[in-house]
Amino acid sequence: MRKWPQSWLVVALAALDIASLVGLVAASEVRRAILLRTAMDIQHSLDRLAKVGELEALLSAADDGMRSYLLSSGAKRQTDLQRAVAATPTVLDGLAQLYLIDGSPSPAEFRELSSATAAHLRHLVAVRDLYDANGRAAAIELLNSGLDDSASRDLSRLMREIRDRERENVAMRSSEWRKEHRETRWLLALMAVALAGLVMAIARQGLRQSRALREQRQALEGAVRERTHELAALTSHLQSTVEVERAALARELHDELGGLLVAAKMDLNQLKPLLPLDDETTAARLKRIDSALANGVKFKRRVVEELRPTLLDNLGLLAALRWQVEQACATANLECDVALPEEEPALDNETRIGLFRIVQECLSNIMKHAQAGRVWLSMSVDATHLCLNVADDGIGFAQTDDSGVLHHGLSGMRHRARGMSGTLTIGARPGGGTLVSVTVPFVTAADASLRR
């Protein structure tokens, strides 16, 4: 049986939740429209009931006013009758508007009600006119005959039927509204549940993806750290190998080439008394040979010092650094300030040669790119760390040329510092120029031997 991936299951559930939510929203809209229409029907029925009640009150007021007018003949009673008769058409117009609404009872019913009302009002007006013309007895007889006729009974019946029907409609539509309202509330509850389920599914998927991405990122960071550590170890190994090879080559040049040059110098000195020195040609050749041997010794000494400074092995790191800075600044016509501790720090050989090479590279960059006039070298040592600073007053690191040579040199210094478990920072010197600062743990030679 095929097993679907968990992510696809979550997507399917989310799609199902969305479809359900859309369906519930559509059903809720339909329910809302039904509720609105039902509420409007109820309101229209209530409005018709109110108008019929108002019409009935006006007709009753007209009847009462007519009787009071016949009995008392007062002007106020006649005014009440006239007011009731004048207000009746306005009420009928309002009722007519309610009968024109969609879903209302047939307009024929309203026409029948309107005709009966008009006939009743005409009868009251005729009674009033008869009273004014022939007196009370004839008017009362006409009034009583009109109130008991079929037109008055039809008017009463119509208003009663309208009231009963509209009340029944209000009761029925109210029941329907309550039912629809309950169902709509259930739909809204289902919508809330569906929405909560969708949010939970999306949140769960988001958390799962976030966890997967975090694990993947951690794995990548671990791989990068491991590869960086391997590269740093390889770089340190290569630098150590280079230093070992340099030291071996320096010893061979010092021993072998130095021995040959010294032997040749001694042989030349022994041959000088045996040769005719009064011959200018011979004397010039001996002088050239002697100068060439001396230059060869100097060249050998310079090459040996560049490969492996003898001061570093014989006199220590402080003397080697002081000599290197003073020698480089004298060659480049630069002023220098050197501030080193009085006591030699007890460092292992790898740390000493690493610090010396970093200073050597800094001096090379200053002479090639910095356009400086002064160089500062300082060192501070505490119980745990050694800090070495090389600064200049040149144009600054940001304005140096952007050739790859300089950046490779800086990268090499960083690798050397990292190989010594230290850090190297390059920034602007206060007052202008560049400041290179390297900080390494204070590791003695004894500690280094224990680590090995």
Task: State whether 200 and 346 are in the same domain.
Answer: no
Task: State whether 200 and 321 are in the same domain.
Answer: no
DSSP-derived secondary structure letter, 395: S
Q: Which of 183, 208, 233 is the last residue of a domain?
A: 208
Q: Which of 182, 208, 234 is the last residue of a domain?
A: 208
Structure confidence by residue, pLDDT tens digits, 162-203: 788 878 888 887 887 778 778 777 877 777 777 777 777 777
Q: Decide if 178 is inside a domain.
A: yes
Q: Decide if 279 is inside a domain.
A: no
Strand runs (DSSP E) across 101-252, as ranges?
none
Q: Which amino acid is at 154?
A: D
Q: State which residues form the domain around 105.
A: 6-208
| Sign of the Cα pseudo-torsion (303, 306, 307, 313, in order) | positive
CA-to-CA distance for 384 and 369, rounded, in angstroms?
Answer: 34
Contact criterion met (CB below 8 Å) for 388 and 422: no
Q: Decide if 384 is inside a domain.
A: yes
Q: Decide if 409 is inside a domain.
A: yes
- For residue 393, pLDDT beyond 50: yes
DSSP alpha helix (H) spans, 308-368: 310-314, 317-332, 349-365
Structure confidence by residue, pLDDT tens digits, 292-329: 878 887 777 777 767 777 777 778 888 888 988 888 89
pLDDT at 151: 67
Task: State whether 186 and 53 are in the same domain.
Answer: yes
* All residues at 6 or more sequence positions from 307 whose CB lies less than 8 Å from its CB, including other chains: 246, 247, 249, 250, 253
Query: With pLDDT > 70 as the criterion, what percentage of the chain qualifies?
Result: 77
Whichever domain contains 420, its CATH number is: 3.30.565.10
- SS3 assignment, position 435: strand
pTM: 0.48
pLDDT at 3: 47
pLDDT at 97: 79
- Look at the chain and report how many structural domains it folds into: 2
Residue whose token pair is 């009231």: 163
CA-to-CA distance for 159 and 352, rounded, in angstroms?
Answer: 118
Secondary element (H or E) of residue 46: helix 6-72
Residue whose token pair is 């080697």: 320
Q: Which of 156, 185, 208 is the last residue of a domain?
A: 208
Q: Decide if 220 is inside a domain.
A: no
Q: Decide if 24 is inside a domain.
A: yes
Whichever domain contains 160, its CATH number is: 1.20.120.1730
Q: Decide if 443 is inside a domain.
A: yes
- SS3 assignment, position 105: coil
Kindly indicate the confidence band of residue 436, based on its pLDDT and cuts at 50, 70 and 90: very high
Task: State whether 174 and 317 are in the same domain.
Answer: no
Q: Decide if 40 is inside a domain.
A: yes
- For residue 231, pLDDT beyond 80: no
pLDDT at 405: 45
Contact criterion met (CB below 8 Å) for 105 and 99: yes
Contact criterion met (CB below 8 Å) for 440 and 421: yes
Helix, strand, coil shares of the chain, percent, nearest 5, are 80, 10, 15
Kindly indicate the confidence band of residue 11, based on its pLDDT and cuts at 50, 70 and 90: low
CA-to-CA distance for 336 and 323, rounded, in angstroms?
Answer: 11
